[in-house]
Structure 1
Amino acid sequence: MRATIKGKMAAMAALSAAVLALSACGGGNEAASSGSSTSGEVNLIAYSGVWQDQYTAAVIEPFKAKYPDIKINFSSKRSSAEMLSALQGQKSNPATDVAIMDNSVSTTGNKQGLFEKVDEAAVPNLANVPEKFRDKGGFGPVAMVDAVGLLYDTAAFPKAPESWDVLWDPAYAGKINVNAPPSLLGLSLTAITAKMEGEDYTKGTDKAVAKLKEMAPGVQTFAPNPDEYQNVITGQTVLGLGQNARGQFYSDQSNKKMGVTFPKEGTVYQINTVNLVKDAPHSAAAKTFINYALSPEAQSAFAKALFYAPSVTNADLPADVKDRVVPTDGSLNIIPLDVDFLSSARDKWTDTWKREIITK
C-alpha cells in the first residue's frame, strides 16, 4: 500500500513537472514572438514614387547593410490618408510594423489606438530629437521636416513670385494646379488663405472659402496627373502647390525648368513622423529600424537625397544642402498648423472643398 502511494505521488510530481515545463516552453515562445532586434523583418508603410526610391537608397539599403538579418518589406501609398485607411483595416490583426506619414494623420492614428508609444530605452536616438519635434503623448516622433511651397515655371517667372496672390491673378487663369483635400496641400492652402484673410482657421474658414471660390475658376486641375511637379515641368500649368523637398529634387531633374519658393505671407510645415504600430508583429526589429531612421547618418543621407530637413540635432549637412532644406531655426515665416485641430477638421474641410470650391 505504501509503495502504491509513493508511486502515485511520484507520478503526480512528474505530471506537475511536465506541466511546468510545458508552461515555460509556451512562455518562451510568447516572448520569442516579438522577435529579435537584429533579425527577422520589418513591414514598413510609407510614401510611393520618388520618395520611396530615394528613401530606399539613402536609408533602407544602408540599414540592411548594417543589419543584414532584418528584411524590409516596403508597402507604398500615395498619401498619408491612404496609409491611415490601410492601418485602420488591419487594426484587429496588424500586418504593418512601422508607418511614416504626415503628423496630422498620425495624430489621428494615435487617437484611434493604432500606434504604440516609444521611449529612449527602446529607441536611444530619440534623445537627439528636440522637444518641439516629439509627440507630447509619447508617440512616434518627427522623422523629417518639410514645408509647402509655391511651384512655378521659371520661363514664365524669371523671378520667383513673392506672394500667394499670384494664384488669383487672371493672367494665369487656366494655368494653375491645386491638389485638393484630403491632400495636405489643399488643407494647407486653406490655412494659408485664412491667414491672408485675417481669419483664425480653428474658429472658422468662411473668409478663406470665399477667397478660394474666387480662385477656383482659374484652376486647370484639382487632381494633378501624374503629379503637381510634372504638370509644371511639362508646361501643362505654370503655377502649383508642392512640397519644398520634392520641388528641389524635381528642379534639379528638370534642369531648373521648375522652381519652388516660399511666399511672403508665410507657409506651413509638412512634417512626417515615424510610428510604431500597436501590436506590431515584429516589434523588436521595428524599434531597431526606427532607431536607425533617427540616426544622424540616416537623417543626413535622406536630406542629401531628397532635401528633407533632419529632425535630429546631431545631423551634419553640407552647406549646399543646408541652403535648400526647410530651415527649422525660426527664420522661415511659418503659419502654425494645429495638428490636433486639423485631424478632427480634415473630413469637414474636404467636404467643404468638394461642395463649395471645386465647381467643375
Structure 2
Amino acid sequence: MARPVMKRNAVWVFGAVTAVLLAGCGGPGGSGGGSDELVVSGFSFGAEEFEKTVVAPFEEETGIRVTFDPGSNSDRYNRLLVDRARPDVDVVLISDLFAADGEREGLFTDIDPGSVPNRADTVEFARDAPGQGIPYTFTLPGVLYSTDAFPDGPPTVASLWDPELAGRIAVPDISATAGIPFLIAVAETFGSGPQDVDTAFAKLAELKPNVLQFYSSTTELLSLLERGEVVAAPGLDLFAYDAVEAGRPVAWAPFDRGRVLSYNKAEIVEGAANTDGAQRFVNYLLSPEVQTRTATAFSDKPVNRAATVPPIMTEVSGGAATDPGAAGYVPLDLDFVGANRGAWIDRFAREVSG
C-alpha cells in the first residue's frame, strides 16, 4: 500500500545558506523500485526558492512527483530515528555532523556509485568523502571583520586576544556552525594541533572577559558589525555576502591557522520506498547546471568543478569558493568531533560562555 504523500510545504533554504531534505513516497520499506513519487526533506531556510530552483525542474525532467519536507537538522534527524522502522523520507539533505551521526546509527544506505556519475566531476573532498552520502555544498569558517577597524588586512586568530580588542569581538557559540571550526583553529594556533582542545578551551576561557557577545544569531552578529560595536568575529563566509554587496564596511577572510570546512550531505534513507528515484535526484543535485542555479539562488557553494559561481562569492571567499582544498581547507574530522561534541557543548557552557 502506498504511503500517503505529504502536502508540499514551502518554508525554506541554507541560513545564510542551505540544506534540504527530500522524502519519498510509495510502499513503506519498499525495495527501491521505479516509483513516480519521491519525498525530499531539507532545511527550512529558502524552502520555497529551493522548490522553484531544484525540485520543479527535476519533476519536469523526470516525471517524478516530489514532496518537499523542510525543517531543522535536529528535528529532521530525530524524526528519522523515530520512524526508522517505517521511514517516510527517501532523500535527506543534512549537515555533515548529523549525517555522520545518522550513518553510525544505520539510518542511511549506500549509494550505488554507478548511479551518480556527476560525483566524478566534484572537488576532491566531495569526491573522496567517506561514508554513505555525498557532499553537495559547503561553507567556509573564517573571520568576519570591520574594514574600518582593519584597513590593512584581516585579523589573525591570535590577534583576537589583543587587549585593544577587548569588548569589541564576538565569538560563536560552540553549537553554531562556526563554533567547532573556531575551536579547532584555536587548538591549531595555541596548542599542539587540531585535537589539542584542552589548550583551546583554556585560551577561550582566557578570552571570555574580552567578548562582547557569544552569538548564535547571524542577524544579530551582522548588526553588531555594521554598527561598529563588534570589529571582529569568527564566522562563515556567506554571512558577509549581502553586506559586501551592499557596500558596507564588512569583509571576511580564512583563518590563518586551522582551516576546516563544513558541508551538507545528500543521504538516502535505509528502507526508502524509492531508492532508484532517490539516486537519480542525488545525481541531478550534483550536476553543474543545478549547482550553478543553487549558487546563484541562495549562495550554496558548489562542489561540481564545472559549476559557475556568482561574482560575490569569489569577491568575498576568493579561490576557496571553487577550490577549498587549494586554499588549505580540509573537512572536519567527523569521528573525532562526533565522539566529543556533547562533552564540548557542556564544557563550553561551563568554562567559556557561562
Same fold per superposition (TM over 0.5): yes
How many angstroms apart in 2 are the aligned matches of 1:354 and 1:118?
38
Report the alpha carbon displacement of residue 189 of structure 1 after superposing the two structures with TM. 1.0
Contact kept, 8 Å, 2:288 with 2:307, in 1: the verdict is yes
Q: Which runs of 4+ in 1 moved over 6 A?
A: 28-33
Q: Are the aligned partners of 1:105 and 1:343 in contact in 2 as well (CA < 8 Å)? A: no
Residue in 2 that maps onto 1:283: 275
Deviates more, 1:347-356 or 1:57-66: 57-66
> What residue ranges of structure 1 are gaps of 5+ in the alignment?
1-27
Shift in CA distance, 66/241, structure 1 to aligned 2, threshold 3 Å: farther
Q: 2:189 and 2:80 mapped to 1: Cα distance?
A: 36
1:104 to 97, 113, 132: 97
C-alpha distance after superposition, 1:189-222 (max 9, x if no partner): 11100000132343x4221111111112222332
Q: Does 1:299 align with 2:291?
A: yes
**What is the CA–CA distance in structure 1 between the aligned matches of 2:181 and 2:308, rounded to whole Å?**
29
In the TM superposition, residue 130 of structure 1 has moved relative to its aligned partner by 5.3
Identify if the C-alpha distance between structure 1 residues 308 and 218 changes in structure 2 by more than 3 Å, giving closer, same or farther.
Answer: same
Cα gap change, 1:264/1:110 in structure 2, threshold over 3 Å: closer, same or farther? same
Alignment match of 2:45 (pick from 41, 46, 49): 49
Give, as a single letter, the amino acid of the residue that structure 2 aligns with 1:278.
E
| Counterpart secondary structure, 2:268 | strand
Taking the aligned partners of 1:155 and 1:120, their CA distance within structure 2 comes to 49
CA offsets per residue over residues 77-134 of structure 1, 9 Å max, x none?
1xx4454334323323323322222223311211111111102333332333356324
Aligned to 1:184: 177
Residue equivalent to 1:143 = 136
Contact 1:43 1:72 (C-alpha < 8 Å) held by counterparts: yes
Give CA deviations for 1:252-307 in whole Å, capped at 9, x if unaligned: 2x433432111322421112211112122443332222121111111122223344
What is the CA-CA distance between 1:61 and the residue it aligns to? 4.1
The 1:162/1:240 distance shift into structure 2, 3 A limit, reads closer
Preserved contact between residue 197 and residue 207 of structure 1 (Cα < 8 Å): yes
The code of the aligned residue for 1:326 comes to A
2:352 and 2:27 mapped to 1: Cα distance?
A: 56
Quote the residue 2:7 is aligned against. Answer: none
Counterpart of 2:121 (choices 128, 132, 137) is: 128
Cα distance per residue 1:120-169 (max 9 Å; x no partner): 33333233335632466551111112210211233433344231234223
Tell me the residue number matched to 1:195. Answer: 188
Alignment partner of 1:280: what SS? Answer: coil
Q: Do 2:302 and 2:309's aligned partners in 1 also have CA atoms closer than 8 Å?
A: no
Going from structure 1 to structure 2, the CA distance change for 1:158 and 1:30 (only over 3 Å counts) comes to: closer
- For structure 2, the residue ranges without an aligned partner over 5 or more in a row are 1-25
| Corresponding residue of 1:24 | none
TM-score normalised by structure 1 residue count: 0.77
Q: How many residues align?
A: 325
Deviations, residues 295-339 of structure 1 (Å, cap 9, x unaligned): 111112222334443222333446765554524264323366312
Instruction: Look up the equivalent residue of 1:124 and give its one-letter code.
Output: P
- Contact 1:45/1:96 (<8 A) preserved: no
Structure 2 counterpart SS, 1:275 = strand
More helix by share: 1
Identity among equivalent pairs (%): 27
CA distance in 2, matches of 1:53, 1:356: 40
Q: Residues of 2 paired with 1:155 and 1:62: CA distance?
A: 44
Q: How does 1:336-355 map to 2 (within 5 A)?
A: 337-355=332-350
2:166 aligned partner: 173
5 Å matches for 1:246-325?
246-252=239-245, 254-317=246-309, 321-322=313-314, 324=317
Q: CA RMSD in A?
A: 3.1
